[in-house]
Structure 1
Amino acid sequence: MLDLNFTGLIPSNMEKRGELTLKDNLAIIEEIFNQRKIPKEGLDDDKIKLLLKILSLMDTDKDPKVIQIGEREARIASKIQNELVGGFCHGIGRSGNLIDAQPKAPGASIMYALTNKILESFLKNLGLKVNAIATPVATGMSLALCLSAARKKYHSNVVIYPYASHKSPIKATSFIGMRMRLVETKLYGDAVRVDVSDIEDAIKKEIKENNNPCVLSTLTFFPPRESDDIVEISKICEEFSIPHIINGAYAIQNNFYIDKLKKAFKHRVDAVVSSSDKNLFTPIGGGIIYSRDREFLREVSLCYPGRACATPVVNILVSLLSLGMNKYLDLMKKQKESKKLLDDLLNELAKKKEEKVLNVKNPISSCITTKKDPVDVAAKLYNLRITGPRGIRKNDKFGTCYLGEYPYDYIVVNSAIGVKNEDIMQVVEKLEKVL
């Protein structure tokens, strides 16, 4: 595409040397477009900026001869706004479909299609052979899009929700005007979870009442609430031919969750929603929806009203290109090591303070009991400049996801992807001082 004539400006040997360097730098960007896969090694910021600049120059608002007379012409007040959106001021999608190409934004449309291709290759490298789209909205609204698609394609009118005290799914259901049927949790030792047979009973009752239910299960959540048995739920949904949507907010970062997803995808899973900020180190505002059913993903995109801001999608593309596959796999390995360190240190602390670490299966978060007011403990940690830990009282039904009184007050401490071992050691050290 570029036809640059440098002849006669500098000595020919220097010209050839410069062209060689330029060619190799541009070859990296060319490879991204040709391969449409996540690179093994991440790209530096300058190359990512160049890639975005090339694409954004294709949009009509960058046309030096354009005559703009529409009501929506990507007019902006400040260059800062152009920088914040990665140059894609026209946004992505059309009024009828999020993933449709936008006539005024060929560059942004290519950027979005490329992002989805790279996202699919990323998930495939993690063992998930799925179709995927990046969404310009976070987890809750992405779930709303999926539920809306289930209502449109399968006439679903009731969401069966194995209770997890996550406001986003509850609000997503209310937002699109569907009724939610909660399936109550039960206590199994220290762990809180929902019995699969109770989910099946709820499905049967709704069908008997001539309703069309779908199931919204939870894969990732804070302990003591354990993951729903998404494999068994997917089998039940397959048996009753009803949609199954999984809230996997931070499922991509750990093989514990990925393995569950791989098994569930053998049965009925219409879509999984994950967060871009929790998994891919983006600013908050983007989501990832993935499925083996390409048609269902298209229904999801059709449920988005209007055009969308390109920024959340640009952020996902930038993260994927910047990290590269090798670095992400290394971060996953370090996250697993950090969780082990956290558990070891909390067990030592529990012995000193005559507390206990709750026996709950969770590869990201851990809980330690406290005889003090857990909310007060969490507040003190916050004042010590520690963000993340949660203090939950045993009578806080919303916090424990247990419809009854939980046996313990406790503190939740996380070791999500990107955490450093020194941060883990410091938080436990300060936790010891306030317990």
Structure 2
Amino acid sequence: MVRGRLKRKILGITDHRPQGTMNETSMKLAERLVPSTYLKQAADSRVIREKLIRMLVEQRKCPQDGWDDDTIELMVKDLALMDSNKFLHNSGVGEREARIFSELVSRRHYGLCHGIGRSGDIAEVQPKAAGSSLLNKLTNAMTLDIIRTLGVRKAAACLVVPLATGMSMVLCLLTLRQQRPSAKYVIWQRIDQKSCFKSIITAGLVPVVVENILEGDELRTNVAEIKRQIDVLGPDAVVAVMTTTSCFAPRGIDKLEQVAALCAEFKVPHLVNNAYGLQSYKCLHHIESAASLWRIDAFVQSTDKNFMVPVGGAIIVGFNAKFIEEVGQMYPGRASNSPIVDLFITLLSMGVKGYKQLLRERKMLKEMLAEQMSSVAEKHGLRVLTTKNNPISIGWGSHCESYPHHYLTAAASIGMTNKDLKLFITRLDNCLKTFRAAESLPSPQTIGAAESLPSPQSVGAAESLPSPQTVGAAESLPSPQTVGAAESLPSPQTVGAAESVPSPQTVGAAESLPSPQTVGAAESLPSPPKVEDCGHRSEDTGDDMEVMSYDDDDDYDDNIM
């Protein structure tokens, strides 16, 4: 009954249409001022817009074609007029009446200032906010529809929450803990990203970290160790096993199907961090496969990473509608509807076709990025890692205590443009040129200088080793010309020599791995520079040359696109 009244109100087919709209009676009266033929054209245009709104409310699916901004604004404003703070002659005497001091703030939120949910359930309808409640319901419905359209067809329910991915994982863990009060452990396949780890701690649970296995260039799931931990801890003591799909390379998608099979066997919940995996058909394929055959309780993804909206929202999706309902009931109090309004507007603007086009463009740019990074790598004597199980990211120095290479990262995410790609490749090439130049041997004048260190001529006076004239002076003592310097201090010309700091011209020379021409001097040179020196991250995890990484994106989308 309530749903029917909300539909009639939003469609303007009651006797009390929202202020500012032209109903049939008003249009008839307007014929006294404007010719009826012109008014009919205007009315027909209005009918087309109202038909789009009616189809959305009736079908509760994301439109195939994106709407124009005027139609979106028409609907959002009509929804706002359905909230009590927009009622004419309203007299609010409650403790929360959506009173907004700044008109600028009110306009920023389209007047939708009541938020969503009630004190006991974030998904519950608010008596004072029929418009906000309807917008929230429609956003959840459209989001679930587009997730099913992208390939997760067995998804039963979803909940868009005004929390980022990490806090949304906390909400899921708290719900699972309530179902398993004697459990306290979360078995977590390592990913070097703080949000996941802190979500376990914040939920008051104990993380059991499982190290990744190196398979070729790629870091993969240690399924055997996960099974061992379940056996050691006992299934009843485990709140959940937490896996990851989207992550910076060289870590690949976790082996969801194998982990899901373990969770089904031992009756342990399975929670998946799918932070930016909605934009990858490959990630969604593994989620659908694992959930269909075995067990996934929920998977969580960010709204900003997947739908190009401001940070602040996440989507919790499950294969059991009851569980998603319980997650909503775990949220204490009302919540901001800003991330929900952002996603609502964006989905209507994109439409299903628009979103799929963005995914096609992302995949194409990913392939171009991999090719061009390979070209740059070859040009500078480097190589590109193959991480075929990571469909988005190209490299990162994490997730492992002793990865055998130094490398950098790049990712082709939704919304990336060809301009972004070209600019990055140009800067990467220039950065590597600078790095290689700094790696080169010192000038010929320094030949014979101990351990191939630069001569004063290449120094700029300060911060260099003594000149060849001082060669032979034990322990870098100054030359005879500097005799008399107290405590064996070097002369002004050799200030800083004892610390072996190179000049600006040779910056990086003493801090980097040697070029092929400097073989033999490696024992006197420290490890490569830290990331900040050339704009990339690097860790001293081995003696290999820096490498870059990319992956192959399998065509899981062929039957969907």
Secondary structure of the equivalent of 1:358? strand
Gaps of 5+ in 1: 368-391, 393-398
Partner of 1:125: 149
Within a 5 Å distance, the mapping from 1:327-338 to structure 2 comes to 327-338=354-365
Cα drift, residue 47 of structure 1: 1.2
- The counterpart of 1:413, out of the listed 389, 410, 413, is 410
1:143-292 residue pairs with structure 2 within 5 A? 143-155=169-181, 156-207=183-234, 211-266=237-292, 267-292=294-319
Write the letter of the residue equivalent to 2:343: I
Residue 28 of structure 1 is aligned with which of 35, 39, 52? Answer: 52
* Match of residue 27 from structure 2: 6
- Structure-2 separation of matches of 1:188 and 1:20: 63
Correspondence list, 1:233-382, <5 A: 233-266=259-292, 267-361=294-388, 362-367=390-395
Aligned twin of 1:400: 398
- 1:135 maps to a residue whose letter is V
- Whether 1:111 and 2:132 are equivalent positions in the alignment is no
CA distance in 1, matches of 2:221, 2:48: 55
2:220 aligned partner, one-letter code:
R
1:328-360 per-position Cα deviation (integer Å, ceiling 9, x unaligned): 111111111111111111111111111111121
TM-score normalized by the length of structure 1: 0.90
| Inter-partner Cα distance in structure 1 for 2:48 and 2:330 | 42
Q: Helix, strand or coil for the counterpart of 1:309? A: coil
Deviation at 1:18, TM superposition (A): 2.1
Amino acid at match of 1:147: L
Amino acid at match of 1:245: L
1:102 deviates by 0.9
Q: What is the identity, as a one-letter code, of the residue corresponding to 2:427?
A: K
Which segments of 5 or more consecutive residues in structure 2 lack a partner in the other structure? 1-12, 18-22, 433-561
Residue among 63, 78, 90 paired with 2:102: 78
1:206 and 1:213 in contact (8 A); partners too = no
Paired AA for residue 304 in structure 1: Y
**Identity in percent:** 35
Q: Please give the alpha-carbon distance, in whole angstroms, between the structure 2 residues aligned to 1:105 and 1:229.
A: 44
- Per the alignment, in what secondary structure is the counterpart of residue 272 of structure 1? strand
Q: Is the 8 A contact 1:153 1:299 kept in 2?
A: no
Tell whether 2:70 aligns with 1:46: yes
CA deviations 1:293-352 (Å, max 9, x no partner) are 101101110111110001011111111111001111111111111111111111111111
1:61 to partner: Cα distance: 1.0
- Kept in 2: contact 1:154–1:243 (CA 8 A): no
- Kindly provide the amino acid, as one letter, of the partner of residue 427 in structure 1: F
One-letter amino acid of the counterpart of residue 280, structure 1: F
The 3-state SS of whatever aligns with 1:400 is: coil
C-alpha contact 1:86 1:311 (8 A) present in aligned 2: no
**Kept after mapping to 2: 8 A contact 1:86/1:314:** no
Contact 1:48/1:321, CA 8 A, preserved across alignment: yes
Structure 1 moving runs of 4+ over 6 Å: none
**Residue type of the alignment partner of 1:309:** S
Shift of 1:431: 0.3
**RMSD between aligned alpha carbons?**
1.4
- Residue 229 of structure 1 and its aligned partner are, at CA, apart by 0.6
Residue 412 of structure 2 aligns with an amino acid whose one-letter code is: S
Letter in 2 for 1:182: V
Equivalent residue number for residue 381 of structure 1: none
Structure 1 residues 382-410: Cα deviation after superposition (integer angstroms, max 9, x where no partner): xxxxxxxxxx6xxxxxx5110x2222211
| Worse overlay, 7-16 or 296-305 | 7-16
SS at match of 1:64: coil
Given that 2:263 and 2:295 are in contact with CA atoms closer than 8 Å, whether structure 1 keeps it comes out as: yes
Distance 2:38 2:237 in 1: 75
Provide the residue aligned with 1:386 in structure 2: none
Structure 2 CA distance for aligned equivalents of residues 128 and 82 of structure 1: 37
Decide whether the 8 Å contact of 2:180 with 2:239 is kept in 1: no
CA radius of gyration, larger in: 2
2: distance between equivalents of 1:229 and 1:86? 44
Question: Given that residues 84 and 311 in structure 1 are in contact (C-alpha distance below 8 angstroms), is that contact kept between their aligned partners in structure 2?
Answer: no
* Separation in 1, partners of 2:33, 2:319: 55
Aligned length: 403
Counterpart CA distance in 1 for 2:331 and 2:380 is: 52
Partner deviation per Cα, 1:104-136 (whole Å, 9 max, x = no partner): 111111110111111111111112121211111
The aligned residue for residue 99 of structure 1 is: 123
What CA distance in whole angstroms lies between the structure 2 residues aligned with 1:15 and 1:84? 32
Compute the displacement of 1:81 (Å): 1.7
Structure number with greater CO (CA < 8 Å, separation at least 6) is 1
Q: What secondary structure is seen at the aligned counterpart in 1 of 2:234?
A: helix
Offset of 1:85 from its aligned partner? 2.6
- Range with greater deviation from structure 2 (139-148 or 123-132): 123-132
Residue equivalent to 2:446: none
The one-letter code of the counterpart of 2:97 is E
CA distance in structure 1 between the aligned counterparts of 2:39 and 2:379, rounded to whole angstroms: 70
- Measure, in 2, the Cα distance between the counterparts of 1:182 and 1:409: 23
Q: d(CA) in 1 for partners of 2:263 and 2:194?
A: 24
Corresponding residue SS for 2:382:
coil
**Preserved CA contact (<8 Å) 2:186 2:207:** yes
